[in-house]
Amino acid sequence: MSSTPPLFLVDALPNGPDIVLDGPEGRHAATVKRLREGEILTLSDGAGGLATCVVDGPAGRDSLRLRVTERSGVPAPQPRVVIAQALVKGDRGELAVELATEAGADAIVPWRAARCVAKWDDGPRGEKALARWRNTVREAAKQARRAWVPEVLDPVGTKGLVDLMDGALGLVLEGSAQRRLADVSLPAQGDIVIVVGPEGGVSDEEIAVLESAGAQTVRLGPSVLRASTAAAVALGAIGALTARWS
């Protein structure tokens, strides 16, 4: 059993002392979690706002009446970490964004890298794949009890990735790099963009383009990580090396 109350996402936190939790979240709380009168849960607006609530009882078959007992706000972490995640074949892409969300990513950008086996077109199939990433991030944020839900931006190519790095510290993860992430001077404020390549790695041409835009190529450690796990490991390192976890 979890040691912290379950978290449910709402469009806006209640202004008054009472609220009815309905819709998909209410259904999940009432029929899946089977929360009963007197039990505690947390509501979040996904943008740092939290409300601790006590269940007053059912409001309907798939909804609950809640009483707000405490309100709080969680400031956005600094520095902000954006994960540029190369498209990964099969379920590993969703695993990558799930782990990155649990590890604290502030935004995720799908990257159409040259060596990506997975291809997202600009039509319905691409929109469906992007929707799966967004839904995965939302559910992972709830599971991790996060007050902030990372935004999943539209896919970009390498040029879009260069634009994303404007004014940010860009770090390209590459197992053969000489510089370690631990050796990089990390900023206390602003954006850090972590670039995670596909299973085939980031091409030399892409590295050259990103480095010419000011990015640094770094390695995490002696192990070779999968494209689906590298972002989470990098986020853990940055959390320890900056004030993000303090």
Render each residue's pLDDT in the chain as its tens digit; 246 residues. Answer: 447 999 999 999 999 999 999 999 999 999 999 999 999 999 999 999 999 999 999 988 899 999 999 999 999 999 999 999 999 988 899 999 999 999 999 999 999 999 998 888 888 888 999 999 999 999 999 999 999 999 999 999 999 999 999 999 999 999 889 999 999 999 999 999 999 999 889 999 999 999 999 999 999 988 888 999 999 999 999 999 999 998
The Cα 191–Cα 203 span in angstroms is 24
The Cα 241–Cα 185 span in angstroms is 9
Q: Which residue has the tokens 């990089």?
A: 184
The pLDDT value given to residue 246: 84
0.85 exceeded by pTM: yes
